[in-house]
Amino acid sequence: MIRVMVIDDEPAIRKDMELLMKRQTGFIVVGSCGSVQEARTIIPATQPDLLLLDIELSDGTGFDILQTLDNPCKIIFITAYHDYAIRAIKYGALDYLLKPVDEEELNEALDKVRKAISAVPQPDQLAIARQSLQQGGLQNRIVLRSQQYLQIVCFDEIVYCQSDAGYTTFFLTENRKIVVSKSIKEYEELLPAYFMRPHQSYLVNHHFIDRYHKDGYLVLRQGTEIPVSTRRKDYVIEYLTGVR
């Protein structure tokens, strides 16, 4: 059985989550609480495998709990929709559910836990997410999750991104690349404004653009050619000439 602890400062949310978890096979709720102080006492006593963790608590944040957590465990954040909070979680490549929690989405998240209960978040993931949360979404690094590992990447290392059938390949400096199983649209929302979208399948760091060719493609400094779609041609020209 996977041992679960629910941490949320809203009693109604805690009750709902406990009821939802009772319908799940292979999970058991071993405790629940609503504050950082309570969590720091209950977690060592119950030794959960999974935390269903609210970000904003009455006496701090979920990250305050994780900072002093000794036993490794899987984490799924539960949060009301706040753009900066969701962005912070995504920067760290962490799992989350939005309130009110949808049972189907919960099932999907728990299936991931069943398959990878040992794949606990790494300290760097949590540090990046927490820093981003504290700064209201400002960040200069992102965690990319491939099938084999977590890669911490600075934005300035990303040359361009290319999408293919729901996957996104990040082409980095020094001829490195990493493939992640998320759409390019999600990263368009996370990456800084100096990443431009010349084509539905590409995001390009404009610092690496050498020139735009009138036949409809960008040439990067290392020679890579990036197509520009017909409907984005005017956007690209305006962007490069400083109108945008």
Domains (range + CATH), the chain: 2-134 (3.40.50.2300), 155-240 (2.40.50.1020)
- DSSP character for 92? T
Each residue's pLDDT tens digit, 20-59: 999 999 999 999 999 999 999 999 999 999 999 999 999 9
- Given a cut of 70, whether residue 102 has pLDDT beyond it is yes
- Given a cut of 80, whether residue 214 has pLDDT beyond it is yes
d(CA 199, CA 145): 24
Torsional class of 53: left (φ above 0), alpha (ψ -120 to 50), beta (otherwise):
beta
Q: How many CB atoms are closer than 10 A to CB 108?
A: 12
Is residue 18 within 8 Å of residue 6, measured between CB atoms? yes
d(CA 193, CA 4): 39
> Can you give the pLDDT at residue 243?
54
What global pTM score does this model have? 0.84
Confidence of residue 84 (pLDDT cuts 50, 70, 90): confident
- Given a cut of 70, whether residue 62 has pLDDT beyond it is yes
Q: If you average pLDDT over every residue of the chain, what do you get? A: 92
Query: Tokens at residue 83, please?
Result: 């753009």
Half-sphere exposure of 120 (CA within 13 A, CB side): 13
Each residue's pLDDT tens digit, 4-16: 999 999 999 999 9
Confidence of residue 68 (pLDDT cuts 50, 70, 90): confident
Rounded average pLDDT over 206-224: 95
Specify which residues 76 forms β-bridges with.
Answer: 52, 95
Is residue 59 within 8 Å of residue 37, measured between CB atoms? yes
